[in-house]
Amino acid sequence: MTRPSRPLVIGHRGAPGLRPEHTRSSYELAVALGVDAVEPDVVFTKDGVAVVRHENEIGGTTDVAARPRFADRRTTRIVDGVPLEGWFTEDFTWDELSTLRCRERLPELRPESAAFDGQEPPLRLRELLDLVRAASREVGVVLEVKHATHFGALGLDVAGLLHAELEAAGWAHGQGTLIVESFEPTILSQLRGRGVRAQYVFLFEADGRPYDLVAADGEEAPTYRALSSPAGLDGLVGAVDGISVDKLMLVGPQGAALPGLVADAHERGLRVFTWTCRPENLFLEPRHRLGTDPAAFGDYAAEWREIAATGVDGVFVDHPDLAVAVFGGRED
């Protein structure tokens, strides 16, 4: 497998260090700043519309809490085995959801982005796909399917809905660079089985287990750590095209990092991505922090160069301008 001279720079939810995540302006800015691809997270409404939101709980990323007409939608749901309180996309129709306006998820950390609160509605997946297709240069889409088991339990055919959306938008048959990723391998298998032409990437947390496998096998389900071992990677060959790992697994402290992971994956023909490159002290490893202000930028370039030195094939970034400067821009 031929390795790129630099990792792909993937706009994680667009350019959320500069605009509220998953908004049209966030994606447009990411494209303008030179990313190779953008990453939409996809969840679903009550009426089966694929929506671009980081989570199905939208209390922290929209103004829903300030909308009296939706006050009674606040509830507690069990999502991937964890109780969460808030407002959930599956309790709204798309028409209702489209009346909301997006907000910065981390306003104290990112006031520059929060200055754009309240200006834009959520996006449907179709709108994002069309936006990327309309770009003046080729930009890829790294589509993350969120909580597929959860939505399936609500009666939604997640694979069928995504297949239909990709088909209708002209992305299902290799018409653009499409990567599909999830923390749950079942949905990846289902989409591959439907003939969606994409590269399939299995997301790994630093700890825990894939929820779809937990739902099926309980404590017998493998951990992400076990799946990242040489034997675990052996089992992924032919099932997926790559893995995407928490950066702690590459450059974290001793006991968290797996120094041979990238090489082990590459030996098996698997690509390796990592998430998420962020410049603020809060998100950097302690050795790269500068001062004590969590919102201040630390020596992010040093950490990101460490990540690149592992040989990863792609990096998810919140500030595309900084990432392009560190990792290098497009070569065309």
Residue 173 within any structural domain of the chain: yes
Question: What are the distances in angstroms from CA 260 to CA 203, 228, 230, 250?
Answer: 18, 10, 9, 9
Number of domain units in the chain: 1
**Domain enclosing residue 163, as ranges:** 8-327
Cα(301)–Cα(296) distance, rounded to whole angstroms? 14
* Count of beta carbons in the 10 Å neighbourhood of residue 57: 18
Average pLDDT on 239-262 reads 96
Q: Is residue 1, in this structure, part of any structural domain at all?
A: no
307: in domain: yes
DSSP three-state, residue 317: strand
Instruction: Check residue 3 and give its pLDDT.
Output: 62
3 in a domain, yes or no?
Answer: no
Q: What percent of the chain has pLDDT over 90?
A: 96
Single-letter amino acid code for the residue at 314: G
Closest CA relative to residue 147, chosen from 81, 64, 61:
81
| Domain membership flag for residue 2 | no
Provide the CA 231 distance to its chain's centre, in angstroms: 26
pTM: 0.96
CATH number of the domain to which 293 belongs: 3.20.20.190
Does the residue 27 lie in any domain? yes
Q: Closest Cα partner for 164 from 44, 316, 268?
A: 44
* Helices of type H across the chain: 24-32, 94-97, 111-114, 125-133, 148-153, 158-169, 185-193, 211-217, 224-227, 230-234, 248-251, 261-267, 300-309, 320-327
Q: In the predicted model, what is the mean pLDDT of residues 283-304?
A: 98
Percent of the chain whose pLDDT exceeds 70: 98
306-321 confidence digits (pLDDT tens):
999 999 999 999 999 9
**Per-residue model confidence as pLDDT tens digits over 206-223:** 999 999 999 999 999 999
Q: Residue 224 — φ and ψ, nearest 5°?
A: -60, -35
How does residue 332 score in pLDDT terms, banded at 50, 70 and 90? very low
Is residue 162 domain-resident?
A: yes
What integer pLDDT is reported at residue 201 of this predicted model? 98
What is residue 1's predicted lDDT score, i.e. its pLDDT?
Answer: 53
Other CB atoms within 10 Å distance of the CB of residue 300: 22
Strand duo 178-182 + 140-145: pairing: parallel
Q: How far apart are CA 31 and CA 158, in angstroms?
A: 28
Domain-located, residue 323: yes
Contact status, residue 330 vs residue 36, Cβ threshold 8 Å: yes
